[in-house]
Structure 1
């Protein structure tokens, strides 16, 4: 989170004059937070946090304050952003989400083990009324339903430690790299030559790619004798 610059705009100064006062901020949140969020927030524990998430070149358009508080789900924050440009930002929803992620990262950087609940609130004062854009960041995608499914589900994981070697051997141009990275920490790579040589002989990789793999074995491998492994491999795959 950045420090505020030393030349605040009138919008910024006035906004912060009010919203940096915990009693006023508490009134604001009691009035404007949705009921389901108010019920999980202990507003008596509000504490103003320092700094700003707004980029320096956008300070003339946006101001923000961050409060920490306790929630029924543990530590939490309320991040209030005021938009005081005449034309609203159609990407504000994703901007608010990005700032919320930044607040979470700051919390982790402080030594906490769990992500906090960060509630983003936009205080809109623009000339256009009512506010014209969605406040749901997923609506910025061409396919919000697909994006929602993607970002609320487990991310794809390629865990090479549990993929059988025989299956890896069928991974075409990725086979050699995957096999080496799976076994790179083994002290004895001798048995790996029998599996690796046929993969290299299949012709999926260029000579420069094979050389890159050899360098990887020598530099990152934990085998007792990397040079012996490379010599044996060279005899099995002489064309490289």
Structure 2
């Protein structure tokens, strides 16, 4: 059984920012032109994997790119943060992720004399509009008063991450950003999508950006990703999006219809699977008493073939061991 994905907001952002051109546009709006000219943003290469620990993957998602700065090897690390509350220890967490990037680099390049530069960026994007309030510098997390801090300054760790706090920005400000259509719409959908009963009308404000997305080289796929996100997090249905698809044309209408059908089928399949799990647990409990936690967990993660096999065995088995043999 596959692992549960990260929450839909971060998953959507990761899908978009895993495309180098979209990630590069997000980097460009957060650094000055002189630094941007020194980084090979057009030559960014996505590095597979995640540096976020398992317990935090429902809260954040991340992407890592390999590139060069002034011809020297370097990395760009982007973390997407969609919580309504700022993570007070984010500077500490980001330092840990950067250290782990260096560790991977050392595994791949034994015995180096220097470490590559890592540019860390946190994108804070949430529909709540609450600003980021946590420190972006690690030294600000060290518990010292001002009198003590000054003489100890040289011994404090100097680490800071870039912060793109888009949470308080309105749609007009997001539209004014020089981003790719996919990156721009991702941030806008984070703003207007979740739980919005007026999404069908609000989304018409960005119809030009949506048309630009559709007309791109991977437009249908990117539009499908966007619509999937809206159906998952928004209070919206096919009829709500009809004015939009009427403006965008038959390609958009087909994507909306097929996406809705796919998500409905997925929901029905999930419901059937959950029903089989509940029925098997009831059968086992009625015959053998309350299930040990290990066996209950085994049932929860079983596939359809295993559930069918165990349900048949319950009828003749004299013990739980026989059922799960």
TM normalised by structure 1 equals 0.56
Where does residue 195 of structure 2 map in the other structure? Answer: none
CA change 1:145–1:81 in 2 (3 A) is farther
Give yes or no for contact 1:141–1:147 (8 Å, CA) kept in 2. Answer: no
Give 1:39 shift.
3.8
1:123-202 alignment runs, 5 A limit: 123-126=123-126, 127=128, 129-143=130-144, 145=150, 148-150=153-155
Give 1:79's match in structure 2, choosing from 66, 77, 80. Answer: 77
Give yes or no for contact 2:6–2:59 (8 Å, CA) kept in 1. Answer: no
- Tell which deviates more after alignment, 138-147 or 119-128: 138-147
Q: Secondary structure at the match of 1:69?
A: strand
Q: Secondary structure at the match of 2:41?
A: strand
2:61 corresponds to 1:63: yes
Give yes or no for contact 1:83–1:124 (8 Å, CA) kept in 2. Answer: yes
Where does residue 14 of structure 2 map in the other structure? Answer: 16
More helix by proportion, 1 or 2? 2
Give yes or no for contact 2:85–2:130 (8 Å, CA) kept in 1. Answer: no
Name structure 2 gaps, 5 residues minimum: 159-325
Give yes or no for contact 2:67–2:75 (8 Å, CA) kept in 1. Answer: yes
Cα distance in structure 2, aligned partners of 1:119 and 1:22: 15
Q: Secondary structure at the match of 2:68?
A: strand
Cα distance in structure 2, aligned partners of 1:69 and 1:146: 38
Give 1:90 shift.
0.5
Where does residue 199 of structure 1 map in the other structure? Answer: none
For each residue in 1:94-125, what CA deviation from the matched residue of structure 2 results, as whole angstroms up to 9, or x when unmatched? 11111111111111110151201001100002
Name structure 1 gaps, 5 residues minimum: 154-240
More strand by proportion, 1 or 2? 1
Give 1:128 shift.
5.6
Where does residue 167 of structure 1 map in the other structure? Answer: none
Give yes or no for contact 1:93–1:134 (8 Å, CA) kept in 2. Answer: yes
Cα distance in structure 2, aligned partners of 1:20 and 1:47: 10
Give 1:129 shift.
2.8
Q: Secondary structure at the match of 2:119?
A: strand
Give 1:83 shift.
0.9
Rg larger in 1 or in 2? Answer: 1
Q: Secondary structure at the match of 1:44?
A: helix
CA change 1:5–1:71 in 2 (3 A) is farther
Provide the aligned length of Structure 1 versus Structure 2.
150
CA change 1:43–1:149 in 2 (3 A) is same
TM normalised by structure 2 equals 0.42
Q: Secondary structure at the match of 1:32?
A: coil
